[in-house]
């Protein structure tokens, strides 16, 4: 993409974003649309927070599992006492 094409694309994107913001904040129908979108955005935020928590828990479990594998195979030791059992 040439500099000219990039400049045109960014300018067009800015114009579209400006038109959308103007519609949402300066028209009655835009206000109605915002009123409908806000509860959906709140719900999306809650769902993303739940996903973030699940990912953090999964990463913790994976790290603990790798530590057990490392203890058993890399050092030739029994799993450490802090590691959970197989079930």
Q: Quickly tell me which residue has 């009655």 as its tokens.
A: 28
Asked, for residue 83, whether it belongs to a domain, the answer is: no
Residue 84 CA to residue 87 CA, distance in Å, equals 8
- Span 21-48, pLDDT tens digits: 999 999 999 999 999 999 999 999 999 9
Residue range of the domain that includes 52: 3-74
In a domain, 80, yes or no: no
Q: Please write the tens of the pLDDT for every residue from 34-83.
A: 999 999 999 999 999 999 999 999 999 999 998 888 888 876 655 555 55
Whether 87 is in a domain gets the answer no
Q: How many domains does the chain have?
A: 1
Whether 82 maps to a domain, the answer reads no
How many other CB atoms are there within 10 angstroms of residue 49's CB atom?
10
For residue 72, what is the DSSP state? I
pTM score above 0.85: no
Per the domain annotation, does 66 fall within a domain?
Answer: yes
């Amino acid at each position: 993409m040439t500099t000219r094409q990039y400049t045109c694309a960014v300018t067009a994107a800015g114009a579209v974003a400006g038109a959308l913001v103007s519609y949402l904040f300066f028209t009655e129908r835009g206000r109605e649309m915002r009123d409908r979108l806000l509860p959906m955005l709140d719900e999306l935020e809650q769902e993303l927070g739940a996903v973030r928590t699940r990912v953090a828990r999964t990463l913790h479990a994976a790290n603990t599992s790798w530590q057990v594998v490392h203890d058993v195979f890399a050092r030739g030791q029994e799993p450490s006492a802090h590691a959970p059992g197989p079930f």
